[in-house]
Structures are given as C-alpha cells and as structure tokens.
Amino acid sequence: MSGNFDYRILNITAHRPWPMPSSPWVMTQTWHDLLFAHWPIDAAMLREKIPGGFELDTFDGQAWVAVVPFHMSNVAPRGVPSLPWVSAFPELNVRTYVRVDDTPGVYFFSLDAGSAIAVAAARAFAHLPYYTADMTVEADADWIRYRSQRTASGAAPAQLTARYRPLGDARPPENGTLEYFLTERYCLFTLDSEFHALRLDIHHPPWPLQSAEAEITVNTMAEACGIRLPAIKPLLHFARRQDVVAWAPHRTK
C-alpha cells in the first residue's frame, strides 16, 4: 500500500484477457460503492448509436446498456500525490460494449462528474463525453444514496436519484458468464477530434461483485443519450472498491 492506493494490484495479472501494455501507465483511480445497473436493449437500435467503425458486442445476441454510479478517490497522474479537493469526486456513466479489431471494450455514451477540473481534463486528454453535474453521495446504514443533476451548459438534461446496497458475499465473475461479459473489460474505445478510433487501456484485479438491490426514483441518464430503457427491473451488481491504473489513449491504427 502507498497512501490509500493499493499498488499491489500491479502484480495481480493472471485474470487478464491480454497482457498489460508495455508502456508505463499514467494515472491512478480508486472506485468506491459502484453500482452496475444493466438493461437489455435491442441490438439493431443500439448499433445506430455507436461509431461506424465499432462493432457492437453482444452476449448470446443480446445488447446491454448500463447506468453506473460510483465515487472516486486517488484520481491523480502517476507520481503526483492525491489532493482531497481535486482527486475525489462522484462519477456517473452510461455505457455499452463494443469490439474494435476484435478486442472487447467499453463505449461510453456519457460520463457525468462532480468536478469541473476532471471534466475539462478528461475531455482534453481522453476525448470522452464528460459533463459537469451537481452530485451527492451519502451512506445511510448499508444503503448508498446517490443524486446527480447535470449542469453542463448546452447539454441534454440528465438526472439520477437512487439508493442501492449490496447483498450477499463478494466474488469474482466466472469467465463465460453474463456477469463476466458485462464487467471484466480492460479497455475503452472512443473517437478523437479527427474521428480516429482511440483505445485507452486499464488494469485492475477481478471485480469483487455482489448482488444488489436498488430503488431508482429518477433516471433520465440513458434518455439524454437518445436511448429508451425498457420498463423492467435492471440486472444489478455492486462493488465496494476497485483500484485502477490507466494508460494514455492511443490510436488503434
């Protein structure tokens, strides 16, 4: 351990679907109290929402969209100490799953964050669709109360109000299962300003997943991205903590 970030994760690599990049990683992050809320979505509809060069990744022909609330700490460049007023803030994303050059990864429709500095840096550095938001995260017994209201000027309104909690013991997902497909992903894909595909690799231990329950009272996050979620209960998973390192984005070709 160094500070609050667990650098021992760099030695946990047997689970990875491919080796870690040979170049140095550039950033640390710690994700806390994360909820994966997944809905099945019509694949034909979702294909229209992703870049043309990206292949929609499905599980047994089914596409999925997730709304993922959590909060972060230890967000800092390599070798730079974490600063309490800069390195810790809530984040909320809407994502699906793609393949580029047959490599599975995550595609983000939107990412909201409670830090204007982080939003500006992520937009410039990683070319990701980040938005500022007014966000609060509170622990209430074993529940996590989460509220987010997008504040970015000119952006589509988007809001989440929910509470959620873990159920049962934490364990890593088994390879070949839906849970593995939805969570064990070690890169993301986006487009740069010239519409070239970018890949950003990450590393973390296997996800310590727990079942979860949630009470979602307001959720317009996917709708703001032009995606209508089905009127069914989502598939829910919770993770208490995940330490992560990330590499600089690079063009895939």
Given a contact cutoff of 8 angstroms between Cβ atoms, the answer to whether 185 and 68 are in contact is no
Tens of pLDDT, residue by residue over 187-201, are 999 999 999 999 999
User: What integer pLDDT is reported at residue 1 of this predicted model?
Assistant: 35
How far apart CA 143 and CA 211 sit, in angstroms, is: 13
Nearest Cα to Cα of residue 251 among 78, 126, 97: 126
Kindly list the structural domains of the chain, giving each domain's residue range(s) and its CATH number in brackets, ordered by start.
Answer: 34-251 (2.40.400.10)
Q: Sorting pLDDT into bands at 50, 70 and 90, what band is 2?
A: very low
**51-72 average pLDDT score:** 97
Nearest Cα to Cα of residue 38 among 143, 161, 160, 179: 179
* pLDDT higher than 70, residue 235: yes
* pLDDT higher than 80, residue 226: yes
Percent of the chain at pLDDT above 70? 98
Tens of pLDDT, residue by residue over 78-124, are 988 887 768 999 999 999 999 999 999 999 999 999 999 999 999 99
**146-172 average pLDDT score:** 97
**116-140 average pLDDT score:** 95
Question: At which residue do the structure tokens 């969209």 appear?
Answer: 65
The first and second tokens of residue 223, run together, are: 């709708």
User: What integer pLDDT is reported at residue 81 of this predicted model?
Assistant: 82
Q: Sorting pLDDT into bands at 50, 70 and 90, what band is 166?
A: very high
Percent of the chain at pLDDT above 90? 94
Nearest Cα to Cα of residue 66 among 20, 89, 32, 98: 98
